[in-house]
Amino acid sequence: MFVKQTHPLPTPRRNFPSRGRQVPYHVEKKEFGPSGNPLRIMVLGGLEEVGRNMTVVEYNKEIIIIDMGLQFPEEDMPGIDYIIPNATYLLDKKDWIKGVIITHGHYDHIGGIPHIMGQIGNPGMFMGKMTAGLVRKRQQEYKTAPQLKIKEIDETTTLKLGASFQIEFLRVNHSIPDCFAVIIKTDLGTVIHTGDFKIDFSPVNDKPADLNRIARIGGQGILMLMADSTDATHPGYQLSESVIGEEIGKLIENIDGRIIIGTFASQLSRVQKIFDLAERHGRRVNLQGRSMNDNVEIAHQIGYLKFSPHILADDKELSRLPDNKILIIGAGAQGESKAFLTRLANGEHRTLNLKSGDTVLFSSSVIPGNERTIQNLMDMLVRKGAKVINYRMFDIHAGGHAKQEDLKLMMRLLNPEYFMPIEANHYMLQANADLAEAVGIPKNKIFVADNGQVVEFRKGSMGKTIGTLTKEKVMTDYVMVDGLGVGDVSEIVLRDRRMMADDGMIVIIATIDTKTGSIIGNPDIISRGFVYMKENRDLIEKTRMKVKKIVKDKNPMTPADDDYIKNKIRNDIGQFLFNATKRRPMVLPVIIKV
């Protein structure tokens, strides 16, 4: 569904304001709006899954949106490319929307932009420089999507969005550069949305988070902290990206053959370290996969990836280079069916073949649910003669999300009155909530919400802002993207796909006399994914006779009723086949009247 773009990227605008200066976007003289209305916060995606992140903050009939991501399909969603947030709540409030803020450039935070921005009036967008490059590149692939109005920000930027929101930014570390937490100031209090983050004191090609500034902001009083929960079930501190680079360097130093490294295309800090190590050890780098090439191109153009172009080697050059001078980086460490590593393991790559002496490093963790797929991929690689090394054997991967001690540190520094875990499955949200309680936040001020559930803040009788997790929910149903279709695949369509995947289908074609309703000849039967017809002739013949009887039993003196006959065939043959096989194939009757 994606189209490779051959024209060069537009040069991103570089107009960073100095500290304290405001970006001139919808600036109003009034400090904040009136305090009679509640401050409402609702998460349209990201509270019941990892992905589809999108948060709405609403106050005084003004709205800001944080992130607009996609979620990759679940196993019971055959044919679905991805899922995006449902923007129905916003459709009649387009004039309320004062801006969209994107915390960083991962697809679970930017993937919904081409589909949603046109629906909501294409408001102004604010994001870091690296994120802007990735968003612009993705937007080029959708010809009908609007041209985005992007303004680049950094940690010194302040924004006034409408009359209600004063916005500042905190630089945080993740597995991609230019990640920001969002500070939302209103006259009811300050809300902080962390985005994805980890505490990394020695990040690669990025500045570490300013913990002193975070502590100062916490000292000013925080109404609510909304914090990343993806690694809230993991104890300890997250590893620094620099440590991972050191471990990969030790391996490269001791490997003689070709080195093939599988990692996420968005893991640009890791990619930078690999480039540095390749240059140090005299290896040329070959990039595999569209997403890997695109991300490296964008990051290099805007200065986030630093390497000499001569280090890159295309596929044709690999055959002329000694094995100990080659390092290949590609995606597919999660076992994706069309990704580089899977095609290499299956012998389907157009130019590369595995051979004895190759070493494959899996420099990524296992996404839950992919364990068997990745194990099968490793088995195939080893059968081809390669040696496989993964993160369980050596420290060659660090996650991009805060673990328990990092999360508690952020909570203590900001010291919020209310806490809301975000960006994970429910059990991870609850683990983060438990951490908040452990550092002293009262349980009744910790909101573990569902997608769409509204959190409200109002002024109490004593002038203090009071928060409530309400029972109100806005629509957050799945919007599924399937090829060029957006939202046109319903649960009924998915149910039919699952049925066909589980038990197959059987097509019954009956030719009927229009006047008498009697059947002409024998019905034709086609089985797909149900039974092999040559080996089940008895069952097929019994089915054929059953269909003839269904049609014959109808009153021969009345015209044929298509719907009646189809429903009768569908129900009776479905029950007959279940009794005979204990399987429920989809029965598709086709009536031809002559």
- Give which of 71, 69, 74 is closest to 82, Cα–Cα: 71
Give the Cβ contact number of residue 145 at 10 Å. 17
Q: What is the b/e burial string over 81-115, where b = at least 16 CB atoms within 10 angstroms of the residue's CB?
A: bbbbbbbebbeeeeebbbbbbbbbbbbbbbbbbbb
Can you read off the two tokens belonging to residue 406?
């990092």
> Is residue 281 among the annotated active site residues?
no
- Give which of 109, 84, 30 is closest to 62, Cα–Cα: 30
Of these residues, 228, 406, 482, 503, which one is catalytic? 228
Measured CA to CA, the distance from residue 169 to residue 153 in angstroms comes to 8
- Give which of 328, 294, 259 is closest to 105, Cα–Cα: 294
Terminal Cα distance for the chain, rounded: 42
Query: What SS3 state is found at 470?
Result: strand
> Rounded to 5 degrees, what are φ and ψ at 456?
-120, 145
Q: Do 503 and 529 contact (CB within 8 A), yes or no?
A: yes
Tokens 């589809």 sit at which residue? Answer: 52
Measured CA to CA, the distance from residue 268 to residue 476 in angstroms comes to 32
Can you read off the two tokens belonging to residue 148?
């985005």
- Give which of 209, 224, 206 is closest to 409, Cα–Cα: 209
Within 8 A by CB and 6+ apart from 294, the residues are 137, 265
> Is residue 401 among the annotated active site residues?
yes
> Rounded to 5 degrees, what are φ and ψ at 248?
-65, -40
Measured CA to CA, the distance from residue 574 to residue 584 in angstroms comes to 7
In the chain, count H helices and then E strands.
15, 25
Of these residues, 104, 106, 234, 401, which one is catalytic? 401
Encode 351-401 in three state secondary structure. CCCCCCCCEEEECCCCCCCCHHHHHHHHHHHHHCCCEEEECCCCCCCCCCC
Four-CA torsion 104, 184, 438, 172, nearest 10 degrees: 30
> Rounded to 5 degrees, what are φ and ψ at 454?
-90, 130
- Give which of 63, 147, 152, 72 is closest to 112, Cα–Cα: 72
Q: Do 354 and 386 contact (CB within 8 A), yes or no?
A: yes
Q: Do 584 and 499 contact (CB within 8 A), yes or no?
A: yes
Active site residues: 228, 401
